[in-house]
Amino acid sequence: MEKIDINPIVLCGGSGTRLWPLSRASFPKQFLVLSGDDSGRSLFQQAIERINSIGTSEVQVGQTLVVTNEDHRFLVLDQLRELSNIRATLLLEPSGRNTAPALTLAALQAMAEKNDPILVITPADQTVKDSETFTKALQACIQVIASENDRKTIVILGITPTAPETGYGYIQRNDKVGSFGEYSVNKFVEKPSATVAQSYLENGHYFWNSGIFVLRASTWLAALKEFRSDIFAATTKSWEARTIDQAGAIFFIRPDKELFNAIPSDSIDYAVIEKCPGSQFAVKMVELNAGWNDLGAWDAVWQVGKQDEQGNVTTGDAVLSNSKNSLVHANSRLVSVVGVENLVIVETADAVLVADRANSQDVKNIVLHLETQKREEKNLHRKVARPWGWYDSVDEGERFKVKRIQVKPGASLSLQMHHHRAEHWIVVKGIAEITNGDQIITLTENQSTYIPQGQTHRLANPGSEPLEIIEVQSGSYLGEDDIVRFEDSYGRN
């Protein structure tokens, strides 16, 4: 029997603003470990593993296509390297244009690689407790699509509702229509009021929209062309002008930046899926009851976490007394909580959030406030990931800043200079190869050097262990944008 070819598609955009201050634009929630299990995997890694575990003797799992932001490509690479036997191609968006253009890029790439494979599409920021049930449901979706001849069918996973949630979209199903347990879909309903959501729960024919779809690449492209021909044309144009490069065995596909930024922004649901019922494109649903959660706010993180006898979920160095049904996430120091109920307390090195669990969706308003004030805390943690490692801004005052810097084995910073600051470097661990003007020197633990203002310089780690240094900056301006790069291994300007 000929095998069914599928391509996993992981949509890895989004900023997760409702999970601030842990989730930020430079390190959004899909790259965090949040689900409360013992795997130590990020939500992105869990999504990759789940969707690559659906192969059978009949189903051949092909290349995983990850659609993500250009700025997150090295986060994706680092997290993929921690997984085994995953073949992936990265489609890099120069800006966020929502999920409809993202899926279109993936469909065009899949069509270029294979003859109309089945696409299994999942967001990168969800959690599922029962992986076996999830796999069976997704395999049923694949069988539904494989058995169709007209190539105009879309199958979606509908989540069995457990509460009258107002933050989810709903699917209204009809009766079973096939041999794989699938239902026909009558309509989609956007986030309802609490009263309407309660009526949906009691009705039994309404399910949460998971955002997990199965369809052929050609089906998506045909449906998009039918309902949003402007998005189809603009995305195709940007993809046809793409560039390709690679890091090891992983390819980077970059659509044309100017053309991509001109694409109308819209979601998969609004652009296509919600318009399909009653059209030539049939939508079917397979039910999923597997402890699914999209972790859309801190209350959802509390729901899926490991609760103690008082209903508290804690992470890090947290001490609670006489407190109930609260989530406490201590990231960098001891957090003590006394006599509270139903709170969310999230501590990071540079920000603390305290919120009523019932209002945790409104954290996005704090992020909007930070944006209007142009505060760095909206986008950056104190500890910032870089393709070569990370830096942590330990202290700062007038005309000085102190950083702790770690460089991965074999990695190096760009060859660069600064107009407004000088730097002192002290090696505290490992071996440093330092370009300082015309000199190249090697320093080891407890040795130091000085980089004058305006001097061309580079820091590299030639060793097999991580390199750590303390950097002391001094000068009239210490912003991260005071960098002139001459050479860079990571394609940054």
- Under DSSP, is residue 298 helix (H, G, I), strand (E, B) or coil? helix
At residue 175, the pLDDT reads: 82
Q: State pTM to two decimals.
A: 0.91
At residue 429, the pLDDT reads: 97
Please report, in tens digits, the pLDDT of each residue of the chain (493 residues total): 578 999 999 999 888 899 999 999 999 999 999 865 567 899 999 999 999 999 998 999 999 999 999 999 999 999 999 998 888 999 999 999 999 999 999 999 999 988 899 999 999 999 999 999 999 999 999 999 999 877 899 999 999 999 998 889 999 999 888 789 999 999 999 889 999 999 999 999 999 999 999 999 999 999 999 999 999 999 999 999 999 998 878 899 999 999 999 999 999 999 999 999 999 999 999 999 999 999 989 999 999 999 999 999 999 999 999 999 999 999 999 999 999 999 999 999 999 999 999 999 899 999 999 999 999 999 999 999 899 999 999 999 999 999 999 999 999 999 999 999 999 999 999 999 999 999 999 999 999 999 999 999 999 999 999 999 999 999 999 998 999 999 988 877 6
Q: How many CB atoms within 10 Å of residue 326?
A: 22
Q: Quick one: which of 92, 84, 6, 5 has its CA closest to 49?
A: 84
- Under DSSP, is residue 33 helix (H, G, I), strand (E, B) or coil? coil
**Statement: 383-487 belongs to CATH 2.60.120.10:** yes
Backbone angles phi, psi at 486, to 5 degrees: -105, -35
The boundaries of every CATH 2.60.120.10 domain in the chain are: 383-487
Instruction: Give the C-alpha separation, 273 to 254, whole Å.
Output: 26
Bridge partners (DSSP) of residue 10 are 66, 122
- Under DSSP, is residue 381 helix (H, G, I), strand (E, B) or coil? coil
The single-letter DSSP state of residue 378 is: G
The single-letter DSSP state of residue 326 is: -
Q: What topology does CATH give the domain 4-293?
A: Spore Coat Polysaccharide Biosynthesis Protein SpsA; Chain A (3.90.550)
At residue 23, the pLDDT reads: 96
Residues whose CB is less than 8 angstroms from the CB of residue 456 and which lie 6 or more positions away in sequence, other chains included: 415, 416, 417, 435, 437, 486
The boundaries of every CATH 3.90.550.10 domain in the chain are: 4-293
